[in-house]
Homo-oligomer: A and B are copies of this chain.
Amino acid sequence: MKVRVFVYLKEGVLDPQGKAVGHALQTLGFKGVEDVRISRVVELDVDAVDKAAAQKQGEDMARALLANEVIEDFRVEVCA
């Protein structure tokens, strides 16, 4: 089953990569760009009996490895 784990910085945590990209976009002429935040998506195939099990496995993997819960939040999405 396909699982997508979205990992993004918690609100209030500085995103230097986003800041740099925002600055570069401004330099390239995209003037009204603000509040750039960069997050990542981990897409994986898991071996689960149903959607609930896949969801649970996604959350377990996020907690164990994919997200740093001190500064990041995550959201798990199971695709059919």
Work out how many copies of this chain go into the complex.
2
A interface residue count range (under 10 / 10 to 19 / 20 to 34 / 35 or more): 20 to 34
How many angstroms from the CA of A24 to the CA of B31 in the assembled complex? 41
Q: Is the interface of A mostly helix, strand, loop or mixed?
A: mixed
Per-position binary interface string of chain A over residues 20-55, scored 1 when its CB falls under 8 Å from any chain B CB and 0 otherwise: 011011001011111111111111111110000000
Query: Which residue on chain B has the smallest CB distance to residue A40?
Result: B40
List the interface of chain A (C-beta within 8 A of B): 6, 8, 18, 21-22, 24-25, 28, 30-48, 57, 60-61, 64-66
Closest 10 CB pairs of A and B: A32-B47, A34-B45, A35-B45, A36-B44, A37-B43, A39-B41, A40-B40, A38-B42, A28-B64, A33-B44
